[in-house]
A and B are shown apart, each in its own frame.
Chain A
Amino acid sequence: MPLIIFIIKRFFRLILTVLLVSTIIFFVIRVIPGDPAAVIAGIDATQADVAAIRAQLGTDKPISVQYIHWLRSVALFDFGNSMITGEPVTKQILKRFPITLTLATLGILMGMLIAIPLGVISAVKRWSPVDYFGMLLSQIGMAVPSFWLGIILLLLFAVKIHIFPLFGSGGIKYYILPSLSLGLARAAVILRLTRASMVEELSKEYIITARAKGLTERLVKYKHALKNALIPVITVSGIQFGYMLGGAIIIEQVFSLPGLGRLFLTGIYQRDFTLIQGGVVFIAFVFSLINFLVDILYSVLNPKIRVG
């Protein structure tokens, strides 16, 4: 299949996913008990007050009209106004998103920086002390919940020794500990994969050929094998990057970073339905977009995948 067709097909799946998520969230919000208009109006409101708010929200119209209206607003990327603050939801999301994006980017970079070199050395020197250290680190990385790691890092580097701030946002120093907490769990996954992928490449026939040709061990391992071993590692790292958007919700809470996750949580605490539905669709969109880009990257690096 030519690349362009693959991209178009994959793009339709992206649109389909966002449509599916938008539809599910729309109906879920409407079947749960409780009238949003009554929530906004408060307990002292009269019937007329509630009706006025309902008209303002558009929830007095038939559900089919509301649904069409909702799909239009998703397509236009305009999620309406917050039910609590009245501010446009899209504007709030876009204001907070760079913080989350910075956090996730630094997190995946730290994860890859720890995992890839260690994974490669572990594969080349199997059952050596480095390999055991790598295994230990990946077990710990998978067992320690990122939010507890965050708390422990704060305890060590903000309370015991005052290198980093206890909470807040601002310069790069506010991002180091949070992204490290996010990155370590991801590093565990990437490390295991790097090791397995490198071990597999090293056992392939072209490596034997390369050795037989008389190439140096360094060239064989770090040029031939590594280049191929990194293909799945890069794509999995991309998917892990997407998962970080989920993890960021809780890490932002631990470090009081005012990112998208905290905005979304505020929406949940205050039962701000427009904010929740906008947030869910936006996160689903970004997450699907990342998966879309990863798939394309993978198909460029490894053309075999396009056949399937």
Chain B
Amino acid sequence: MKRSSVSSRLMLGAVIYLVILGAAAIAAPVISPYSPTDQHLENRFAPPGHKYILGTDNFGRDNFSRMIYGSRSALLVGIVSVSIAVTIGITVGIIAALSTGIIDNILMLLMDSVLSFPTILLAITVVSFLGYGLLQVMTAIGVIFSPVFARLVRAEALSIKTEEYVEASRAMGSPAVKIVFLHIMPNLMGKVVVQASITFALSIVIEASLSYLGLGTQPPTPSWGLMLKDARNYLVQAPWMSIYPGLALAMTVLSFNIIGDTLSEKINPRIVKK
């Protein structure tokens, strides 16, 4: 099988998985067999079967329903965090690229100092100050990932700025705002989309990690990370509790990574040859 056909099949699989996940998140109240928070104490630790397809947890809550509702938290975090990161990143990146000297230097020094620390450590520290919860986590992740976009946008904008058509437009007297929105922005969107896809995946992992540590989504709101936190205590009694939420998490991350990789090959075909 040719490489290109392997990668387009992977891409198709990733898109299908994400469409199903998105649909499940939207239609959660309709398709969930049970309420995600209702406790059926008489059915604690029920293994996967006819009544509960993915089993129940330590409170007798239906795992499948909790996973469907958990996809809402995961996708919400991805969407909100990436939007924050992209907005801050593009703004800072463009400002840095258009201003030279001291402002550019200060902005980039600031961005680099954020970039140089382990993301999860930063996220934990920021959340411990902002307080626990989904909103705080989304804000923290968005801010922490914004330097990635700022760096990318600045580098792209700097190279686009020297292109002949931009020079020509400037020579004709176009105002800076017009140049930014007409010439620079459209040309760097491709790389921003690739990075956004990868960042989406990372945001979901960080939300899950923080929820696992008890600093993210708070119970009883379902979240994959929170489900895994409960699961850790019942590895012997209920292994299914830890398998399925993690699988959903990993598949989601994998899908976004595949989409990011495929898009970046399409935008920059040179990489494929290597």
Contacts and interface: CB of A to CB of B under 8 A. Distances in A.
B187 interface: no
A247 B120 contact: yes
Interface stretch (B27-35, B55-63, B175-183, B234-242): B234-242
Contact of B118 (A28, A144, A243, A254): A243
Contact of A148 (B125, B128, B250): B250
Interface residues of B, number: 37
A142 interface: yes
B141 to A, nearest CB: 14
Interface string A151-180: 110110011000000100000000000000
A250 B250 contact: no
Interface in B90-146: 113, 116-121, 124-125, 128-129
Q: What band does the interface of chain A fall in when counting residues whose beta carbon is under 8 Å from B?
A: 35 or more
Interface string B206-236: 0011001111000000000000100110011
Contacts of A196: 274
A254 B209 CA distance: 11
B246 interface: yes
B120 A254 contact: no
B116 A269 contact: no
B3 interface: yes
A269 B212 contact: no
Nearest to A143: B254
Contacts of A143: 201, 250-251, 253-254, 257
A287 B119 CA distance: 12
A151 B257 contact: no
Contacts of B205: 145
Contact of B215 (A28, A166, A268): A268
Nearest to A196: B274
Interface string A244-285: 011101100110000000001100110000001000100110
A144 B3 contact: no
A298 interface: no
Nearest to B130: A32
B228 A249 contact: no
B243 interface: yes
A151 B113 contact: no
Contacts of A147: 208-209, 212, 228
Interface in A187-205: 196, 199-200
Contact of A246 (B121, B232, B235, B253): B121
A111 interface: no
A250 B117 contact: no
A150 to B, nearest CB: 9
B120 A246 contact: yes
B150 interface: no
A145 B124 contact: no
B204 to A, nearest CB: 9
Interface in B39-74: none
A199 B201 CA distance: 28
A280 B243 contact: no
Given A247-B120, A254-B232, A268-B124, A32 B257 contact: no
Given A145-B208, A151-B231, A249-B120, A276 B254 contact: no
B77 interface: no
Interface in A222-247: 242-243, 245-247
Interchain residue pairs A-B with the least CB separation, the first 8? A246-B118, A148-B246, A143-B254, A246-B121, A268-B128, A143-B253, A246-B120, A144-B250
27 contacts: A17-B116, A32-B129, A139-B257, A140-B254, A143-B201, A143-B251, A143-B253, A144-B250, A145-B205, A145-B249, A151-B231, A151-B232, A152-B246, A155-B235, A155-B239, A159-B236, A166-B235, A196-B274, A246-B117, A246-B121, A249-B120, A250-B212, A250-B213, A254-B212, A268-B124, A276-B125, A287-B116
